Structure 1
Amino acid sequence: MQAGPAIAVLGAGWAGLATAADLAGRGFRVIVLEKRAVAGGRAYSYTDPETGDVLDNGPHVYLGCYASTLAFLRRIGAPGAIRMGRALRIAYADRERGRYRLRCPALPSPWNLLLGLLFLRGLDPGDRVRALAVGRRLRRTLGSDRTDLEDIPLRDWLDRLGQTAAIRRAVWDPIATAALNEDPAAASTAVFARVFDEAFLSGARSALGLGAFGLSDVFVGPAIRYLGDRSAEVRFGSGVARLRVGSGGVDEVELGDGARIVADAYVSALPPRELLAVVPDRLRSADPVFRGAAGLETSPIVSVHLWYDRPILDEPFVGLLGTRTQWIFDRWAILGPAGRGNGLSPAPEAGLSAVISAARDCVDRPASDIIAMVQEDMAACVPASRSARLLRARVVKERDATLSPRPGTSRLRPGSACSLSNLVLAGDWTATGLPGCIEGAVRSGVRAAAAAAGFLQGRLSSGAAPAQEVDAVG
Structure 2
Amino acid sequence: MGTIHVIGGGLSGISSAVRAASNGRKVVLYEATEHAGGRCRSFFDSTLGCVIDNGNHLLLSSNTNTYAFLDLVNARDRVRELQPARFNFIEPKNNLRWSIKPFGGWIPFWIFFNNRRVLGTKYFDYIEIFKLRNANANDCVADCVDTNNVLFDRLWQPICRAVLNTDAYNASAQLLWGFMRLSFFKGEKACRPVVFNQGLSDALIEPAISYLKKFSTEIKFKSRVQKLECKSEYVCGFHFRDTVVKIEKNDAVILAIPSGPCSILCPELDPPIQNNSIVNVHYRFDHALLEFEKIPIIGLVNTKTHWVFQKKNVLSVTISDANEFLGCKNSDLAKSIWNELCASLSIQDKTLPPWRVIKEKNATIAQTPAEVRKRVPTITSRRNLFVAGDWTQTGFPATIEGSIASGERAAQLACGVT
1:120-165 deviation per Cα after TM superposition (whole angstroms, max 9, x unaligned): 3631xxx322332034455xx4xxxx6x432111112112xxx643
Give the Cα–Cα distance (whole angstroms) in 2 for the partners of residues 256 and 455 of structure 1.
Answer: 28
Question: Which residue matches 1:300?
Answer: 277
Question: Which residue matches 1:168?
Answer: 152
1:167-216 deviation per Cα after TM superposition (whole angstroms, max 9, x unaligned): 11222111111111011001110111111111211122121110011111
Give the Cα–Cα distance (whole angstroms) in 2 for the partners of residues 77 and 321 of structure 1.
Answer: 37
Give the Cα–Cα distance (whole angstroms) in 1 for the partners of residues 283 and 38 of structure 2.
Answer: 23
Give the Cα–Cα distance (whole angstroms) in 1 for the partners of residues 144 and 112 of structure 2.
Answer: 23
What SS is found at the alignment partner of 2:28?
Answer: strand
Given the superposition, is the C-alpha separation of residues 329 and 261 from structure 1 closer, same or farther in structure 2, using an over 3 Å criterion? farther
Displacement after TM superposition at 1:52 (Å): 2.8
The reply on whether 1:405 has 2:367 as its aligned counterpart is yes
Give the Cα–Cα distance (whole angstroms) in 1 for the partners of residues 372 and 51 of structure 2.
Answer: 36
Question: Which residue matches 2:358?
Answer: 396
Give the Cα–Cα distance (whole angstroms) in 2 for the partners of residues 250 and 409 of structure 1.
Answer: 27
Given the superposition, is the C-alpha separation of residues 116 and 38 from structure 1 closer, same or farther in structure 2, using an over 3 Å criterion? farther
Question: Which residue matches 1:6?
Answer: 3
Task: Give the alignment partner of residue 68 of structure 1, picking from 51, 65, 68.
Answer: 65
Note if contact 2:131-2:145 (Cα within 8 Å) is conserved in structure 1: no
Mean Cα deviation higher: 258-267 or 17-26: 258-267
Question: Which residue matches 1:102?
Answer: 100
Report the TM-score, using the length of structure 1 for normalisation.
0.83
Task: Give the alignment partner of residue 128 of structure 1, picking from 122, 143, 146.
Answer: 122
Report the TM-score, using the length of structure 2 for normalisation.
0.94
Give the unaligned 5+ runs of structure 2. Answer: none
Give the Cα–Cα distance (whole angstroms) in 1 for the partners of residues 65 and 203 of structure 2.
Answer: 15
The reply on whether 1:451 has 2:413 as its aligned counterpart is yes
Displacement after TM superposition at 1:364 (Å): 1.5
The reply on whether 1:150 has 2:147 as its aligned counterpart is no
What SS is found at the alignment partner of 2:349?
Answer: coil
Q: What letter matches 1:220 in structure 2? A: I
Give the Cα–Cα distance (whole angstroms) in 1 for the partners of residues 353 and 71 of structure 2.
Answer: 39
How many pairs were matched up? 411
Give the Cα–Cα distance (whole angstroms) in 2 for the partners of residues 117 and 296 of structure 1.
Answer: 42
Note if contact 1:7-1:267 (Cα within 8 Å) is conserved in structure 2: yes
Note if contact 1:57-1:396 (Cα within 8 Å) is conserved in structure 2: yes
Question: Which residue matches 2:223?
Answer: 238
Task: Give the alignment partner of residue 54 of structure 2, picking from 40, 54, 57.
Answer: 57
Note if contact 1:176-1:184 (Cα within 8 Å) is conserved in structure 2: yes
1:266-317 deviation per Cα after TM superposition (whole angstroms, max 9, x unaligned): 00001111112223xxxx2xx3xx22x1x43111000000124665321112
Note if contact 2:102-2:116 (Cα within 8 Å) is conserved in structure 1: no
Q: What letter matches 2:125 in structure 1? A: A
Question: Which residue matches 1:340?
Answer: none
Give the Cα–Cα distance (whole angstroms) in 2 for the partners of residues 442 and 122 of structure 1.
Answer: 35
Give the Cα–Cα distance (whole angstroms) in 2 for the partners of residues 178 and 121 of structure 1.
Answer: 17
Give the Cα–Cα distance (whole angstroms) in 2 for the partners of residues 29 and 75 of structure 1.
Answer: 17
Question: Which residue matches 1:265?
Answer: 252
Give the Cα–Cα distance (whole angstroms) in 2 for the partners of residues 225 and 195 of structure 1.
Answer: 32
The reply on whether 1:22 has 2:16 as its aligned counterpart is no
The reply on whether 1:275 has 2:257 as its aligned counterpart is no
Give the Cα–Cα distance (whole angstroms) in 2 for the partners of residues 116 and 250 of structure 1.
Answer: 58
1:388-432 deviation per Cα after TM superposition (whole angstroms, max 9, x unaligned): 422211100000001111113232111111111110111100001
Give the Cα–Cα distance (whole angstroms) in 1 for the partners of residues 57 and 395 of structure 2.
Answer: 20
Given the superposition, is the C-alpha separation of residues 82 and 60 from structure 1 closer, same or farther in structure 2, using an over 3 Å criterion? same
Give the Cα–Cα distance (whole angstroms) in 1 for the partners of residues 404 and 13 of structure 2.
Answer: 8
Task: Give the alignment partner of residue 111 of structure 1, picking from 98, 108, 116.
Answer: 108
Q: What letter matches 1:216 in structure 2? A: S
Note if contact 1:302-1:397 (Cα within 8 Å) is conserved in structure 2: yes
Larger radius of gyration: 1
Q: What letter matches 2:77 in structure 1? A: G
Give the Cα–Cα distance (whole angstroms) in 1 for the partners of residues 109 and 81 of structure 2.
Answer: 17
Question: Which residue matches 2:289?
Answer: 312
Note if contact 1:250-1:422 (Cα within 8 Å) is conserved in structure 2: yes
Give the Cα–Cα distance (whole angstroms) in 1 for the partners of residues 244 and 52 of structure 2.
Answer: 34
1:243-262 deviation per Cα after TM superposition (whole angstroms, max 9, x unaligned): 11112110011123324253
Note if contact 1:150-1:191 (Cα within 8 Å) is conserved in structure 2: no
Task: Give the alignment partner of residue 366 of structure 1, picking from 329, 340, 353.
Answer: 329
Given the superposition, is the C-alpha separation of residues 61 and 7 from structure 1 closer, same or farther in structure 2, using an over 3 Å criterion? same
Given the superposition, is the C-alpha separation of residues 17 and 72 from structure 1 closer, same or farther in structure 2, using an over 3 Å criterion? same
Note if contact 1:309-1:389 (Cα within 8 Å) is conserved in structure 2: no
Give the Cα–Cα distance (whole angstroms) in 1 for the partners of residues 403 and 57 of structure 2.
Answer: 14
What SS is found at the alignment partner of 2:299?
Answer: strand
Give the Cα–Cα distance (whole angstroms) in 2 for the partners of residues 404 and 237 of structure 1.
Answer: 28
Q: Give the alignment of 1:336-351 within 5 angstroms.
A: 350-351=313-314
Question: Which residue matches 2:171?
Answer: 187
What SS is found at the alignment partner of 1:201?
Answer: helix
Displacement after TM superposition at 1:231 (Å): 1.8
Displacement after TM superposition at 1:369 (Å): 1.8
Mean Cα deviation higher: 241-250 or 86-95: 86-95
What SS is found at the alignment partner of 2:356?
Answer: strand
Task: Give the alignment partner of residue 308 of structure 2, picking from 322, 328, 332.
Answer: 328
Question: Which residue matches 1:43?
Answer: 40
Given the superposition, is the C-alpha separation of residues 130 and 173 from structure 1 closer, same or farther in structure 2, using an over 3 Å criterion? farther
Q: Give the alignment of 1:363-442 within 5 angstroms.
A: 363-383=326-346, 385-442=347-404
Given the superposition, is the C-alpha separation of residues 371 and 455 from structure 1 closer, same or farther in structure 2, using an over 3 Å criterion? same
Task: Give the alignment partner of residue 320 of structure 2, picking from 340, 344, 357.
Answer: 357
Given the superposition, is the C-alpha separation of residues 129 and 116 from structure 1 closer, same or farther in structure 2, using an over 3 Å criterion? closer
Q: What letter matches 1:302 in structure 2? A: V
Mean Cα deviation higher: 195-204 or 301-310: 301-310
Mean Cα deviation higher: 434-443 or 108-117: 108-117
Given the superposition, is the C-alpha separation of residues 94 and 454 from structure 1 closer, same or farther in structure 2, using an over 3 Å criterion? same
Give the Cα–Cα distance (whole angstroms) in 1 for the partners of residues 396 and 371 of structure 2.
Answer: 11
Give the Cα–Cα distance (whole angstroms) in 2 for the partners of residues 310 and 425 of structure 1.
Answer: 44
Percent identity between matched residues is 29
Displacement after TM superposition at 1:442 (Å): 0.6
Given the superposition, is the C-alpha separation of residues 233 and 187 from structure 1 closer, same or farther in structure 2, using an over 3 Å criterion? same
1:22-80 deviation per Cα after TM superposition (whole angstroms, max 9, x unaligned): 11111011100001111001111101113331100111111111100110010011111
